[in-house]
Amino acid sequence: MVGDVHGQSGKLASLFRNLSSKLGRERFHAARVIFLGDLCDRGPNTSAVLSFVAGLSSTYPDMEVKLLAGNHDLAMSLFLGLVDHDSGGKVPDGWSNSRRREPPLWVDDTGGDAHVEMHLQGRRWGGSAEGVENAFNSEATFMSFGVAPGDRAGLLAAMPDSHKTLLSSLEFVVEIEGVVDDHNSEVDTILAVHAGLESDSPLEGQMAGLRRRLVDRKWLEPLQGRSNVLASPPDTPNNVLIVSGHHGMVKIEPNRVILDSCGGYDDRPLAALVFPERLLVEGE
> How far is residue 230 CA from its own chain's centroid?
16
Distance CA 99, CA 139 (A): 20
115 is a catalytic site residue: no
H helix intervals, 63-129: 71-80, 120-126
Cis-peptide, bond into residue 103, ω within 30° of zero: no
Distance CA 78, CA 122 (A): 5
Helix, strand and coil content of the chain, in percent to the nearest 5, comes to 30, 15, 55
H helix intervals, 134-235: 139-144, 152-158, 161-168, 203-211, 221-224
Distance CA 215, CA 122 (A): 12
Of 43, 71, 47, the closest CA to residue 265 belongs to 43
From residue 27, give the alpha-carbon distance in Å to each of 21, 64, 164, 192, 277: 10, 12, 30, 22, 14
Choosing from 72, 85, 119, 247, which is the catalytic residue? 72
Q: At 274, give phi and psi (nearest 5°).
A: -105, 130
* Range 100-121 burial, b when 16+ CB lie within 10 A, else e: eebbebbbbeeeeebbeebbbb
Q: Kindly state the greatest CA–CA separation across the chain.
A: 60
Task: Write out the catalytic residue numbers.
Answer: 72
